[in-house]
């Protein structure tokens, strides 16, 4: 079994070497990083020793690891193997997805055939975008998409600080920014561009907007995941004509 357990995500206080200036940095200049643990375990019913274990990570665009392939010649089933890992954000791209794929191959002692296992999970939101207290581009947003919760104005829509609480609860400075306005959340991508999410005054409507066409899609998919337990409709055509220009 393969599992990734995220410990925290935020701005690192220690210095991170970056001669090529590719690492994204937070509001205090520290590198944006998520610390995690790779956990490998064997089904207790499996009594034989596992060998030739190879684990590889497929990273979404905008994320890097110091090491993406891990190899273990022999692995016994008595104790899970726990490996500290970290993910760093890059500063020069628009994110497309938070999806992380982990693939593993291994052999059971006494057999020649390799077996395959895989796992997928979502990287923390804070690796890709952070709240900003003074957005510069949101008011001039040209591209917009509105999602409506089933029930319209009578729907008790979660406020934005509630939606993003888990994502930034370990970063008080970011949580404080979100708490200043429960109906507007502005985020800055690691490449400097921004997107905003507005909650309608009558409730039930969330609007994702950005001055950049590329800027709305990550915000839209992230918002959709956060409100996916509700029935959601999109009452307007997404601005996809730019894809053909």
- Segment 146-159, tens digit of pLDDT: 998 876 555 578 88
Separation of first and last alpha carbons in the chain: 46
pLDDT per position as a tens digit, 6-56:
988 888 877 677 767 788 888 788 889 999 999 988 876 655 678 889 999
16 φ, ψ (degrees, to nearest 5): -120, 120
Q: 2-11 and 32-40 as β-strands: parallel, antiparallel, unpaired?
A: antiparallel
Cβ-proximal residues to 118 (8 Å cutoff; 6+ apart), any chain: 2, 101, 102, 103, 104
* Residue predicted with more confidence, 101 or 109: 101
pLDDT at 111: 80
Residue 60 confidence (pLDDT) above 90: yes
Residue 121 confidence (pLDDT) above 90: yes
- Structure token pair of residue 177: 């920014």
* Residue predicted with more confidence, 199 or 136: 199
pLDDT at 244: 47
Report d(CA 102, CA 54) in Å as an integer.
Answer: 10
pLDDT at 155: 58
Q: The whole model's pTM is what?
A: 0.86
Report d(CA 181, CA 133) in Å as an integer.
Answer: 10
């Amino acid at each position: 079994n393969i599992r990734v357990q995220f410990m925290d995500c935020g701005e690192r206080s220690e210095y991170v070497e970056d001669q090529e200036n590719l690492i994204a940095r937070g509001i205090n200049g520290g590198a944006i990083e998520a610390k995690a643990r790779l956990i490998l375990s064997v089904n207790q019913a499996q009594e034989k020793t596992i060998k030739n274990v190879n684990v590889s990570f497929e990273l979404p665009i905008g994320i890097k690891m110091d090491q993406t392939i891990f190899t273990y010649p022999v692995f016994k089933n008595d104790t899970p193997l726990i490996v500290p890992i970290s993910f760093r954000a890059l500063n020069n791209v628009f994110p497309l997805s938070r999806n992380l794929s982990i693939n593993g191959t291994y052999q059971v002692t006494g057999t020649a055939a390799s077996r395959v296992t895989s796992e997928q999970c979502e990287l923390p939101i804070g690796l890709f975008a952070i709240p900003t207290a003074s957005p510069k581009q949101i008011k001039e947003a040209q591209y917009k998409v509105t999602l409506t919760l089933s029930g319209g104005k009578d729907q008790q829509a979660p406020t934005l600080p509630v939606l993003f609480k888990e994502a930034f609860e370990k970063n008080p400075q970011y949580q404080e920014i979100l708490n200043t306005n429960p109906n507007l959340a502005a985020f800055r991508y690691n490449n400097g561009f921004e997107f905003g999410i507005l909650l309608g005054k009558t409730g039930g409507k969330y609007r994702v907007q950005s001055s950049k066409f590329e800027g709305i899609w990550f915000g839209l998919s992230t918002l959709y995941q956060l409100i996916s337990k509700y029935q959601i409709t999109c009452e307007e055509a997404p601005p996809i004509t730019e894809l053909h220009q």
